[in-house]
Amino acid sequence: MYLDSAKKQEIFSQYGQGATDTGSAESQIALFTHRIKHLTEHMKQNRKDHSTERALTGLVGKRRSLLNYLKRNDINRYRAIVKALGLRK
């Protein structure tokens, strides 16, 4: 499995405020980014997998919503997570 509990704990501890910080916007954005990268690689090999394409589109939208929330409420946290994850926007 590409995303086990150990990998989630690593993502949460790296981008959140601790290993148990699963609800902050930064940790959720980092988790969505990891899942998006995985699904993007899957879509490169399986172009006709429409259910995965729909899931990928939904994840991108959720991540965008969280990024917009951070941008509205705390621009410094927004800039930090975008820089840490290497996102374009």
For residue 29, give both structure tokens: 């954005």
Predicted confidence at residue 21, as pLDDT, reads: 85
Please, which residues have CB within 8 angstroms of residue 55's CB and are 6 or more apart in sequence? 39
Q: In the chain, what are the domain boundaries?
A: 22-85
Using only C-alpha atoms, the chain has a radius of gyration, in whole angstroms, of 14
What Å distances lie between residue 32 and 6, 24, 60, CA to CA?
16, 12, 8
Residue type, 89: K
- Class of the CATH-defined domain 22-85: mainly alpha
Q: What 3-state DSSP class applies to 17?
A: coil
Q: Express each pLDDT in 22-43 by its tens digit.
A: 899 999 999 999 999 999 999 9
Q: Express each pLDDT in 38-87 by its tens digit.
A: 999 999 999 999 999 999 999 999 999 999 999 999 999 999 999 999 99
First-to-final CA distance of the chain: 30
Predicted confidence at residue 39, as pLDDT, reads: 96
Instruction: Tell me the C-alpha distance between 23 and 17, whole Å.
Output: 10
The pTM for the full model equals: 0.91
